[in-house]
Chain A
Amino acid sequence: MGVMDGILEGAKVAFSFHGILFVLMGVFLGTIIGMLPGLGPITAIGVMIPISYGMDANMALVMMAGIYYGAIFGGSTSSILLNAPGVAGTVATAFDGYPMAQQGKAGKALAIAAVSSFIGGTVGVILLMLFAPLLATVAISFGPPEYFALMLLALTAIASLSEGSTIKALISGTLGFMVAMIGIDGQTGTSRFTFGSASLLSGIDFLVIALGIFALAEVFKLIITRNDIDSGPNKNIGSIRITKSELKEMSGPASRQSVLGFLIGVLPGAGATIASFIAYITEKKIAKKPEEFGKGSIKGLTAPETANNAATSGAFVPLLSLGIPGSGTTAVLLGALMVMGIQPGPMLFTEKPDLFWGVIISMYIGNIFLLVLNLPLIPYISKLLNIPRPMLISLVTIFCLIGVYGISFNTFDLYLLLAFGIIGYLLRLVSFPAAPFILAFILGEMIEQSVRKSMTISNGSFMIFLERPITLAFLIITVLSLALPPLLGMRKKIKSIE
């Protein structure tokens, strides 16, 4: 079947009544959860997994994807209105969005953010349509050694690109990998680290990790900060009209950053957060009046908002065409898909074109819905920011508990959830990033299996990883991504001494 037929199949899925209904549901929920400070897309997707049981896989994927980009879209609202980013990807949005809101132009800021997000999201999806099949065609020839090297690259990239210390990120990843080792080994049947518990034989469910390390840990953090942010935005947000000259000012950063943001999103390890910061910095560097940045500049608001949404589309490239997530959020998305029995990857492109293209085409519809939701309706939706924190904390906790109980009907998993919530909170307390943990947990078993399959193919020789050009290239990039930053840092130090 050709690509055109696949796109048509996908369009049938996306434009069906259910397709439209579920993408609307996804982006709506994503907007709301993304908007609430402290709760990010990972929590949003995790909480929705139990709801999606028994749903048609196509529709579940369409909805989950909608939640993801909807959350990034919605996160900008609280960045602008409260100066409290709803999600990490919209931190840079507050730099110019919040000053604008303080000048009484909150409505305008929200409108600019919505239009920029729409442009970034839509351009991102167009590029996704071009890139994903291309990559899938290449990836179809990948064997276990290539996958091993690629996953290793994804892990080290997220560690070296994440905020703060690389060592801490690597430790976080190692810990996640270790937790993935719990349970019966698929190849030999050895039960590992189960301490004789029958409940641990099948390993720890990824939902326990996702909801514990992310959602519950975020709830614990909210308990500490619940009194810091005064809840509720100002009543009057002002006009949401954008003038022609303002649109003209937006056009430059929007067109540049939608492409740049997408490319950053495709890279393993870098996502919406990094894309938005890079966009903000580059636009500030090339701007004619950089002094306006940080004081309510239209360009300064457009750049990160375009880039973070474009990056979200970009993140779907490795997820859909390789089956390898490049970020914490896409890792949870992958976990959610596997719960539903879908294994993303190059085979998805050839064997389930309706699913592959269905989700991509639904993103066009989703972005249009988001524009509508975020423009005229935003004054009403932003009222949800008035939910009192204590109530929010209790309700999200209940969501986590019931979500986990709904998959296992076993209170043992609930105790595990609480334990991982505490671990996740402690990790944050000592500033260890949580994203490498979840990525390593989800990739861990796949990495182990791919190493062992490779070694079985090669009869126990390590040469298999060095003889294949693609594998070797990935491994070299992996080593460079770890070794270069410290070496460059040392050179800087030596120079500064001289």
Chain B
Amino acid sequence: MLSSQNKKVSLFLIVLGVVFVIMSVRLPEYPLVPVDADAIPIILGCLLIFLSILLFFIKDEPKDSEDSEQSEPFFNADRKMLFLFGGFILLYIVLLEWLGFLITTALFIFTSTFALGYKKHVTNIIVAIAIPIVFYYLFNYVLKISLPKGILPF
């Protein structure tokens, strides 16, 4: 029954719409205005449910070649790379305020560029060191937006 992509997406959105409506209904009331804070969200939730029901009955568009490879394992090379890259970003956010902008950014640029398949390591190192320094100078001293300095003294 859930063979088509539209049907799967539609069901997910219907659930989302229902949750949204329930949350909207439970918002505290404020009696002094003609339209309270929950009115528009309730309309939006119902609209989403209605549109998703329509989507349920729409046939999928003919698929592009990239999506049609159903037989491929879920974790193909591209997906693995996406998850890895997402992980790098997550790590960057966690480390940013602790290690500081310069170190974290240099590490991020080098590792992710390397992981994405760039072979010239010397160029990579130069860029990974130069770019954070330029940004840091630009933001901290020209734009006066102070980026986290972390464990470095400057």
The chain A residues found within 8 Å of chain B, CB to CB, are: 50-51, 53-54, 164-165, 167-168, 170-171, 174-175, 177-178, 181, 185, 187-190, 192-193, 220, 223-224, 226-227, 388-391, 393-395, 397-398, 401-402, 405-406, 411, 414-415, 418, 421-422, 425, 429-431, 447-448, 451-452, 455-456, 459-460
Contacts and interface: CB of A to CB of B under 8 A. Distances in A.
B30 A167 contact: no
B92 A401 contact: yes
A167 B54 contact: yes
Interface string B37-80: 11111001101100110110010010000110000000000100
B139 A402 contact: yes
Interface of B: 5, 9, 13, 20, 23-24, 27-28, 30, 33-41, 44-45, 47-48, 51-52, 54-55, 58, 61, 66-67, 78, 81-82, 85-86, 89-90, 92-94, 96-97, 101, 105, 108-109, 112-118, 124, 127, 131, 135, 139, 143-145, 147
A165 B89 contact: no
A220 B55 CA distance: 26
Contact of B34 (A50, A430, A448, A459): A459
Nearest to A221: B82
A388 B118 contact: yes
B78 A174 contact: no
Nearest to B49: A174
Given A53-B143, A167-B54, 5 more contacts: A178-B44, A178-B48, A190-B37, A402-B147, A418-B93
Contacts of A223: 78, 81-82, 85, 116
A190 B97 contact: no
Given A401-B92, A405-B96, A422-B86, A167 B55 contact: yes
Contacts of A190: 27-28, 30, 36-38
21 contacts: A54-B143, A167-B54, A167-B58, A178-B45, A188-B36, A190-B27, A190-B28, A190-B37, A190-B38, A192-B24, A192-B41, A193-B41, A220-B85, A390-B116, A390-B117, A418-B90, A422-B86, A448-B40, A451-B40, A455-B35, A460-B34
A422 B89 CA distance: 12
Given A223-B81, A394-B108, A452-B33, A418 B139 contact: no
